[in-house]
A and B are shown apart, each in its own frame.
Chain A
Amino acid sequence: MAQWSTEPAGALVRSAQAFARNARREQFWRSPLIGFRDPRYWQILSLAVLLAFGLCALGFDQSPVSVAAILCCALMVQWICCKAARLLHYDPLSALISALSLCLLLRAEQLWVLAAASVLAIASKFLIRCNGKHVFNPTNFAIGVMLLSGMAWISPAQWGSRTWLAFLLSGLASLVLSRAKRAGVALAFLATFVGILFARALYLGDPWAIPIKQMQSGALLVFAFFMISDPKTTPNQRGMRIAFGVMVAVLAAYLQYVAYLPQGLMYALFFASPIVPLLDHLCAVPRRYQWSKPTV
């Protein structure tokens, strides 16, 4: 479902040269300066602080070299793809969010696996598209592919409860700062998932300490605030978005607590994402949401 087709190499080079010449005039770099009203700055800040804390204090199995590799690959691929897709507007913010989320979640022994995940994440935005939207959340796509390959893993429990609380507050603040559209799907997901955890505990006769412990996963929060709430990969219609959040939560709880897949969350969104274009088709509404125009 590639939106753009490959051009002859010469045309690409000419286009790139023209791009470089006109970069300033066409405000190629303008997006980072749009203003700090963009909620993504807040998201980047909270992800970066969390990553720094995780690396320094929580002993995340992620080396600074891996972090650098993931960030560089993501920004580079975003830049190349922007040019190749002839976008006048290079927007590093969403790539940065994807890359930081990857740094927080994905672990691999070999550096190239992480670099490949980063490339996959960003490239998927440009290559796997439908109705002008990318189908998969970039981070989720890369994690899904890498988990299926068996070369990488995620460590969902590597967070202390205090860190988790701080992150929860930061994530909620981020939701408040951002538009309501993002909040709806994240809150629907969180409410359903947490509701299932407590209902399960009630059914099993378990103490509340168990669902509270199960909630305290950093992966759950990164998932809710930065993956499922990605405006580009959620249904356009509000009711559908809520239904999508609920559906992913039910699937995730099933995979995690019935099929005993510790990465149930990631797989749930990974397998549910291709349904979004169908939901959009069933319930077409005029697209209203735009970041600051031509973001991918």
Chain B
Amino acid sequence: MRIPIGLAALAASVLAAASQASAFCGFYVAKADAKLFNRSSKVVVARKDRRTVITMASDYEGDPKEFALVVPVPTVVTREQIRITDNHLIDHLDAYTAPRLVEYFDHDLCAYQNRITLAGSSLPASLAAVPADREAALGVKIEAQYTVGEYDIVILSASQSDGLSTWLTEEGYRIPSAAAPVLGSYIKQGMKFFVAKVNLQEKSRLGFQYLRPIQVAYDTHKFMVPIRLGTVNADGPQDMVVLMLTANGRVEATNYRTQRIPTDVDLPVFTRTEFAKVYKALFDTQIKQDGMTAVYLEYAWNMAWCDPCAADPIPNDKLVELGAFWLGNTSTGRSIRSFGPLNVFVTRLHVRYDGKKFPEDLMFQETADTASFQGRYVIRHPYKGPITCPLGEDYQKLLVPRLVQEAQTLARLTGWEPRAIAESMRNAGQPISVDPARP
């Protein structure tokens, strides 16, 4: 029997905990020197053939009027290609794919019972009118201008980076000077710029307390998530979780090493209440070991099933809202099955990056790999009942090295002090001795 112990609420906190600072695909700019709160970013990319739907969410907590987003896009996008979606959809997918802690209870060997209980838990896991000739003089062209939901959106093309920087600055965006070469590179690659600000009137009319994610759809050969602009004004490394929805198989980076996060390891029982902390330390240690050069795979699975499920399964119509357009179209009334086998494969990639180690945008490819992978950590509760047979005595003898092994694993993965681990285990009723000769 599998019992989810429902730590879904922790998902967001772990993400936040695992991030030191963060940004969007693009970067936030402020009109004044307002402090920006942008700790973590989540991006959902759904892609089949050349059609790409990218949904960008952030935990921006500052004044909405200070919010601004600049993202390079490969083509001019029309009003119909932009949607505003709900945070909870992304949060749901985030919780569903987050690294998870599962727990098992050892049973009484003497009673010959085979009741193994598995507990699964989720974890963690309106722009001012500017005279057109001014734009022409700066080499900037407003390709399109829309108000969608609470956002005012402008699609720009430019012929020179200086002109674009000047235009954005004149429009009240705070552009770091180092951004100009990056903007220039995108301009020469024929990219357009998706610029969004909050329309305060619309926001108060719609009544949302928070900023909702923006979703953009376009056709492109470039399977990429732009990160370069986000590194320009970043204060230290940033974290990003990229959730990929594809029709065939796992997604991996093609210009940075994709590495699997350590998984399927037994951890001491006390980590049950500290899993968010454990995972953050594990991720930090992994980054340190690899010199922050890799993209980490945390989950890869067909959306039709999960084991254990870290959150409730996501209905197919919600997947369509997240961008999985190939399942059907809710607006055309074509029926979509609620649940069940389907051709949506989800890949969760977690990257910590800065401009030095990640100079290039993240490029991806979809592979034919449909093998399931998840960041899964296990706690096993020892049997505590009376021992009434030799088999039970053997079990108790084996328990001691098992606990030591769990402590060593935790120390190796998190870099925590063995003594501190032993102390926590003692407090949790699992006393082990630490060999002082061993680090």
Given the interface contacts A260-B221, A260-B223, does A160 sit within 8 Å of B368 by beta carbon? no
Is A205 engaged at the interface, CB distance under 8 Å to the other chain?
A: yes
Asked if B359 contacts A213 (CB within 8 A), the reply is: yes
Is A157 engaged at the interface, CB distance under 8 Å to the other chain?
A: yes
Residues of B within 8 A of A158 (CB): 257-258
Report which of A151, A161, A204, A260 forms a contact with B368, defined as CB distance below 8 A.
A151
Interchain nearest-CB distance for B49 vs A (Å): 12
Asked if B255 contacts A107 (CB within 8 A), the reply is: no
- For B176-218 the 0/1 string (1 means CB < 8 A from A) is 0000010011001100000000000000000000000000000
Given the interface contacts A207-B359, A209-B359, A262-B365, does A159 sit within 8 Å of B370 by beta carbon? no
Which chain B residues in 364-418 approach chain A with CB under 8 Å? 365, 367-371
Is A10 engaged at the interface, CB distance under 8 Å to the other chain?
A: no
Interchain nearest-CB distance for B396 vs A (Å): 36
Residues of A within 8 A of B220 (CB): 260
Asked if B368 contacts A108 (CB within 8 A), the reply is: yes
Smallest CB gap from B254: residue in A: A262
Chain B CB within 10 A, most for which of A59, A259, A263: A59
Asked if A109 contacts B369 (CB within 8 A), the reply is: yes
Residues of A within 8 A of B253 (CB): 157
Q: How far is the CA of A203 from the CA of B181 in the complex (A)?
A: 11
Given the interface contacts A155-B252, A210-B359, A260-B223, does A161 sit within 8 Å of B293 by beta carbon? yes
Given the interface contacts A157-B254, A160-B293, A206-B185, does A59 sit within 8 Å of B260 by beta carbon? yes
Q: How far is the CA of A151 from the CA of B367 in the complex (A)?
A: 8
Residues of B within 8 A of A159 (CB): 257
Which chain B residues in 215-233 approach chain A with CB under 8 Å? 220-223
Residues of A within 8 A of B363 (CB): 260, 262
Q: How far is the CA of A161 from the CA of B360 in the complex (A)?
A: 15
Asked if B369 contacts A107 (CB within 8 A), the reply is: yes
Is A8 engaged at the interface, CB distance under 8 Å to the other chain?
A: no
Is B259 engaged at the interface, CB distance under 8 Å to the other chain?
A: yes
Q: How far is the CA of A58 from the CA of B289 in the complex (A)?
A: 12
Asked if A204 contacts B365 (CB within 8 A), the reply is: no
Is B356 engaged at the interface, CB distance under 8 Å to the other chain?
A: yes
Interchain nearest-CB distance for A14 vs B (Å): 44
Smallest CB gap from B186: residue in A: A204
Is B325 engaged at the interface, CB distance under 8 Å to the other chain?
A: no
Asked if A153 contacts B368 (CB within 8 A), the reply is: yes
Is B104 engaged at the interface, CB distance under 8 Å to the other chain?
A: no
Smallest CB gap from A263: residue in B: B365
Residues of A within 8 A of B223 (CB): 260
- With an 8 Å Cβ cutoff, the count of chain B residues facing the other chain is 32
Give the secondary structure class of A's interface.
loop
Residues of B within 8 A of A263 (CB): 365
Asked if A204 contacts B255 (CB within 8 A), the reply is: no
Smallest CB gap from B359: residue in A: A209
Smallest CB gap from B253: residue in A: A157
Asked if B367 contacts A107 (CB within 8 A), the reply is: yes
Residues of A within 8 A of B146 (CB): none
Asked if B252 contacts A204 (CB within 8 A), the reply is: no
Q: How far is the CA of A152 from the CA of B252 in the complex (A)?
A: 13
Is A92 engaged at the interface, CB distance under 8 Å to the other chain?
A: no
- With an 8 Å Cβ cutoff, the count of chain A residues facing the other chain is 31
Given the interface contacts A107-B369, A203-B188, A213-B359, does A155 sit within 8 Å of B293 by beta carbon? no
Is A214 engaged at the interface, CB distance under 8 Å to the other chain?
A: yes
Is A150 engaged at the interface, CB distance under 8 Å to the other chain?
A: yes
Smallest CB gap from B260: residue in A: A59
Which chain B residues in 236-263 approach chain A with CB under 8 Å? 248-249, 252-260
Q: How far is the CA of A152 from the CA of B368 in the complex (A)?
A: 6
Is A156 engaged at the interface, CB distance under 8 Å to the other chain?
A: yes
- For A175-210 the 0/1 string (1 means CB < 8 A from B) is 000000000000000000000000000011111011
Given the interface contacts A59-B260, A260-B222, A260-B223, does A157 sit within 8 Å of B255 by beta carbon? yes
Asked if B370 contacts A204 (CB within 8 A), the reply is: no
Residues of B within 8 A of A260 (CB): 220-223, 363
Smallest CB gap from A149: residue in B: B368
Given the interface contacts A153-B368, A262-B363, does A160 sit within 8 Å of B257 by beta carbon? yes
Asked if A205 contacts B185 (CB within 8 A), the reply is: yes
Smallest CB gap from A204: residue in B: B185
Residues of B within 8 A of A203 (CB): 188
Asked if B257 contacts A210 (CB within 8 A), the reply is: no
Which chain A residues in 263-281 approach chain B with CB under 8 Å? 263
Asked if B181 contacts A205 (CB within 8 A), the reply is: yes
Smallest CB gap from A216: residue in B: B255
Residues of B within 8 A of A108 (CB): 368
Which chain B residues in 148-191 approach chain A with CB under 8 Å? 161, 181, 184-185, 188-189
Asked if B221 contacts A259 (CB within 8 A), the reply is: yes
Residues of B within 8 A of A156 (CB): 254-255
Smallest CB gap from A150: residue in B: B368
Asked if B360 contacts A214 (CB within 8 A), the reply is: yes
Q: How far is the CA of A151 from the CA of B369 in the complex (A)?
A: 8
Q: How far is the CA of A262 from the CA of B257 in the complex (A)?
A: 14
Which chain A residues in 98-152 approach chain B with CB under 8 Å? 107-109, 150-152
Residues of A within 8 A of B248 (CB): 150
Q: How far is the CA of A224 from the CA of B359 in the complex (A)?
A: 25
Q: How far is the CA of A58 from the CA of B258 in the complex (A)?
A: 10
Q: How far is the CA of A89 from the CA of B121 in the complex (A)?
A: 62
Interchain nearest-CB distance for B64 vs A (Å): 34
Residues of A within 8 A of B360 (CB): 210, 213-214
Interchain nearest-CB distance for B291 vs A (Å): 8
Residues of A within 8 A of B161 (CB): 205
Q: How far is the CA of A85 from the CA of B252 in the complex (A)?
A: 42
Q: How far is the CA of A261 from the CA of B222 in the complex (A)?
A: 8
Q: How far is the CA of A262 from the CA of B184 in the complex (A)?
A: 23
Residues of A within 8 A of B188 (CB): 203-205
Given the interface contacts A203-B188, A210-B359, A260-B223, does A157 sit within 8 Å of B257 by beta carbon? yes
6 nearest A-B pairs in the assembled complex, by CB-CB distance: A209-B359, A262-B254, A260-B221, A153-B367, A204-B185, A205-B184
Contacts beyond the supplied A150-B248, A157-B256: 9 A-B pairs with Cβ under 8 Å: A59-B259, A109-B369, A109-B370, A155-B258, A156-B255, A157-B257, A205-B184, A213-B359, A260-B221
Residues of A within 8 A of B (CB): 58-59, 61, 107-109, 150-153, 155-161, 203-207, 209-210, 213-214, 259-263
17 interchain pairs (CB within 8 A)?
Answer: A59-B259, A109-B249, A109-B368, A156-B254, A157-B253, A157-B258, A159-B257, A160-B293, A203-B188, A205-B181, A206-B359, A210-B359, A214-B255, A214-B360, A260-B220, A260-B363, A262-B363
Residues of B within 8 A of A (CB): 161, 181, 184-185, 188-189, 220-223, 248-249, 252-260, 293, 356, 359-360, 363, 365, 367-371
